[in-house]
Amino acid sequence: MAGMVFFSVSMSIDGFIAPESPEELMGQQWMELQHWVFPTRFMRESLKLGGGGEEGLDNEIARTTFERTGASVMGKRMFDAGEHAWPDEAPFHTPVFVMTHERRDPWVRLGGTTFYFVDDGIRSALDRAREAAGDRDVRISGGGATIVEYLNAGLVDEFSIALSPVLFGSGIRLFENVDAGRIALQQVRSEASARATHLTYAVRQR
Amino acid sequence: MAGMVFFSVSMSIDGFIAPESPEELMGQQWMELQHWVFPTRFMRESLKLGGGGEEGLDNEIARTTFERTGASVMGKRMFDAGEHAWPDEAPFHTPVFVMTHERRDPWVRLGGTTFYFVDDGIRSALDRAREAAGDRDVRISGGGATIVEYLNAGLVDEFSIALSPVLFGSGIRLFENVDAGRIALQQVRSEASARATHLTYAVRQR
């Protein structure tokens, strides 16, 4: 069975997933946005911080999101922001297809992450990611504009939001320019930890 | 003990609480936004549609939101939109303080709703509502701009959002112009029905 196409993000109560500029990525509100994931056992393992860390819903969500993902698709801006920030062992551990307008050879990182650069559109990037993912799912990693491109094209099956108790006031909105009239949603899961509410919606075309 | 100051709204996943214009109030997405409340027993009783209706979480939320409210505060635009739309027995059944720039005598409706018109600012309107509410809570009814005025002034203790599985794409945003840097939130309740996720946050000043 072919996998699903999904995205999974942390969102503020007022709908933002990132600050306006990468320089603000260590600000107070950004930390609060991601606060549910930092203490988890999964995150400590991923960052090689040693043992320990919290079990429970937040940990389960972080782990299953990672484990279901067989390949990722990413916009160029997200790649550019991460290219110099990710460690040599980039946190994906799968093929990642980066949509770009330049030709570039695959970039192999430690730990199983290889970035492939795709210059012929979102469907092509997705086709390649599906093939690479096999039975597992394809994650549209971001950023917001890339997620909305896939949503508007009817190519997303479901998505998950970790809704964190923080207001951003400005930044990058998850659903900016979404074609709302064509997208119907069904709430398929909603569970809360002490730190966030984890929501999952199935996407249908109207 | 004095009551709390709160607001309670239905919000789309992308952060909207109403369409851009009152003429769109019967549109498909608006109906989906409010879909959790229509089938409840409480709503059927309120609209005098006879017996029946659903019990359960949605009904409990609708009923307790009504019962905790001893008085409401409302912006002029929300009042203007409702003045000719509410039935003679307006749905508040308490004093409602409308912020306005005109002087107008109280407007008494059937069933216990009286609209008082306050022309000397948001603190004055709230003081009068607190006094009228007694031990019960004061609800900032809306619209969005009025809610944000009270939030930014540090006058809201907590708020509840019924997060409905719908995207609006445009309309009136709940948190437009919120002073995000001064407001810290704590998730105090998060429960889902089949139709919506009911979230409650406590508000603290940073």
Residues in chain B within 8 Å Cβ distance of A13: 161, 175, 185, 201
Region of B95 please: left (phi>0), alpha (psi -120 to 50) or beta: beta
pLDDT tens-digit series, residues B5-31: 999 999 999 999 999 887 777 788 999
Q: Is the pLDDT of residue B155 over 90?
A: yes
Residues in chain A within 8 Å Cβ distance of B195: 187
Q: Which positions of chain A have pLDDT values less than 50? A: none
* pLDDT at A49 (0 to 100): 84
| Predicted confidence band of residue B34 (pLDDT cuts 50, 70, 90) | very high
| Predicted confidence band of residue B48 (pLDDT cuts 50, 70, 90) | confident
Distances (CA, A) of B126 to B93, B116, B155, B174, B180: 18, 12, 9, 20, 22
Tell me if chain A has a CB within 8 Å of the CB of B160: no
- Give the ipTM: 0.94
HSE on the CB side for B6, CA within 13 Å?
22
Averaged pLDDT for residues B151-168? 98
Burial class (CB in 10 A: 0-12, 13-18, 19+), B26: exposed
Q: Which residue has the tokens 């960052």?
A: A47
Q: Which residue has the tokens 């990642």?
A: A96
How many whole angstroms separate alpha carbon A184 and alpha carbon B52?
29
Query: At a CB cut-off of 8 Å and minimum separation 6, what does B130 contact?
Result: B2, B3, B5, B71, B138
Tell me if chain A has a CB within 8 Å of the CB of B20: no
Averaged pLDDT for residues B121-133? 97
How many whole angstroms separate alpha carbon B193 and alpha carbon B196?
6
How many whole angstroms separate alpha carbon A104 and alpha carbon A114?
12
**Cβ B199–A29 below 8 Å, yes or no?**
no
Averaged pLDDT for residues B81-105? 93
Number of helices (H) and strands (E), helices first, in chain B?
Answer: 6, 11
**A57: how many CB neighbours lie within 10 A of its CB?**
17
- Smallest CA–CA distance, residue A85 to chain B, in Å, is 26
Residue of B146, B140, B175 lying closest to B158 (CA atoms): B140
Residues in chain B within 8 Å Cβ distance of A168: 180
Q: Which amino acid is at A166?
A: V
Nearest-CA residue of chain B relative to A199?
Answer: B197
How many whole angstroms separate alpha carbon A94 and alpha carbon A102?
22
Tell me if chain A has a CB within 8 Å of the CB of B147: no
Residue of A189, A98, A182 lying closest to A148 (CA atoms): A182
Tokens of A18: 């990132």
Residue B203 pairs in a beta bridge with B185
Residue A111 and residue A89 in contact, taking contact as beta carbons nearer than 8 Å: yes
Averaged pLDDT for residues B148-168? 98
pLDDT tens-digit series, residues A97-118: 999 998 999 999 999 999 999 9
What one-character-per-residue DSSP string does B113-155 give?
-EEEEE-S-HHHHHHHHHHHHTTSEEEEEE-HHHHHHHHHTT-
**Cβ B183–A191 below 8 Å, yes or no?**
no
Averaged pLDDT for residues B123-134? 97
**Cβ B170–A180 below 8 Å, yes or no?**
yes
